[in-house]
Structure 1
Amino acid sequence: MKTLVILWTLINCAFSQSGVRPLRQSQPPGQAANIIRESNEVNIDGSYQWSFEADNGISAQESGQIKNANSQDPIEEAQGSFQYTGPDGAAIQLQYVANENGFQPQGAHLPVAPPIPIEIQRALDWNAAHPEEEEGGRNSRRP
């Protein structure tokens, strides 16, 4: 992830210096999106933030930092969001955190797992309340 963050930052810096914009919404031919707001900051401590907004309604932002920088296992963490209008006209908004627990997106358009059936939940609850019966194998009980 560290390499990805550094690579993304370098690409962003290179594109912002050259005037070329790396991220664009697919649009009909002849319609270009113009960046109307953009910021990019990389700090010596490894923290960074970037954001942009295009005239077609696409916007994105991200900030990141190193947690536990003075430990043997520093952890990189990024949080951000983006939004755009889908082909069907629906507004798509996504927020995310990426850290030692992986990429964790949140958005109203993302699918949600169905609820656990009550019978399975009861079995899980019972197993959690009776771990001693699982230790010795099937149907074993200790006096």
Structure 2
Amino acid sequence: MKSFNACVFAVCAVLLVSLTNAAPVDDSKNAEILKYENDNNGLGSYNFAYETSNGVSRSEQASLNNVGTENEATSVQGSYKWVDPEGHIHTINFVADENGYQPEGEDIPKAQV
């Protein structure tokens, strides 16, 4: 019985080590910046983008509309993306302007009409 318990323990230990090594790695703390761009004219317009080694990216462009009028407003459009632990890519596209923040993507529930 003693050798049976030792054998079961050894098999369980091997399985535990195998499962631990097969688990997805959370590399969010170790992500490297692969791309970074930033351009700001200081007058209300800008562009920026970045991409990291763990699949996260974002890009955004803004412009100042109706400059010098009472309707002066910034309009921003862009997108961001990430990869979940199961490997699915999620993307959100958005516009933010005088009508508010307007995101679109498969992960955003659609309103029932």
- Whether these two folds match at TM > 0.5 is yes
Per the normalisation by structure 1, the TM-score is: 0.57
Deviation at 1:63, TM superposition (A): 0.8
Compare relative contact order (CA 8 Å, sep 6+) and give the higher one, 1 or 2: 2
Provide the residue aligned with 1:76 in structure 2.
Answer: 74
Structure 1 consecutive aligned stretches of length 4 or more whose deviation exceeds 3 Å: 27-31
2:48 equivalent among 47, 50, 64:
50
Q: Which runs of 5 or more structure 2 residues have no equivalent in the other structure?
A: 1-24
Q: How many residues align?
A: 89
Bigger share in strand: 2
C-alpha RMSD of the superposition: 1.9
Per the normalisation by structure 2, the TM-score is: 0.71
Where does 1:8-19 land on structure 2 (aligned, <5 Å)? none
Bigger share in helix: 1
Find the residue that maps to 1:69 and give its secondary structure. Answer: coil
* Matched-pair contact (CA < 8 Å) for 2:44–2:74: no
Deviation at 1:109, TM superposition (A): 1.4
- CA, structure 1 residues 111+30, in 2 after alignment: closer, same or farther (shift >3 Å)? closer
> What fraction of aligned residue pairs are identical, expressed as a percent?
31
Residue type matched to 2:105 in 1?
G
Distance 1:29 1:103 in 2: 30
